[in-house]
Homo-oligomer: A and B are copies of this chain.
């Protein structure tokens, strides 16, 4: 799996990397148990400092997306989220509100908005209900 850094993007390198990993996990390109590249090799490949990689990984660890195994490295974590149900709802509603407000200001009506949301949910293959107690790759 290849990560790409755009030094002209005006976005911090560690956030670009963290976002690419988050999106890869959401889209299934990275799955539970997959190893992430170690800090030093990836730092050399992307020509940044290994602490920059570590900072990106630290962000993802805080969000419960990856975990570290001493002596072995970082791995994609299973589905347990560190947040309570209430906190998860709060976080999601804040993000959805941002999208709705943006739709309003971009003159995108309700029907077009909901249609686009469904398309993107399908694009990412967002899990249907009650599939989460499966254990697909163990």
Contact residues of A with B, CB < 8 Å?
Answer: 22-23, 25-26, 63-65, 79, 81, 83, 88-89, 91-93, 95-114, 116-118, 120-121, 123-124, 126-132
Copies of this subunit: 2
Determine the chain B residues whose CB is within 8 A of the CB of A102 once the complex forms: 91-92, 95
Beyond A95-B99, A116-B96, whether A132 also contacts B104 by CB under 8 A is no
Q: Are A106 and B130 in contact (CB under 8 A)?
A: no
User: Cβ of A93: which chain B residues have Cβ within 8 Å of it?
Assistant: 116, 120
Report Cα–Cα, A88/B130, bound state, in Å: 34
Known: A100-B126, A109-B130, A114-B121; 18 extra A-B contacts, CB below 8 A, are: A22-B105, A25-B105, A26-B104, A26-B105, A88-B107, A91-B106, A92-B103, A92-B113, A93-B116, A95-B99, A95-B102, A96-B120, A97-B124, A98-B99, A104-B126, A104-B127, A114-B114, A114-B117
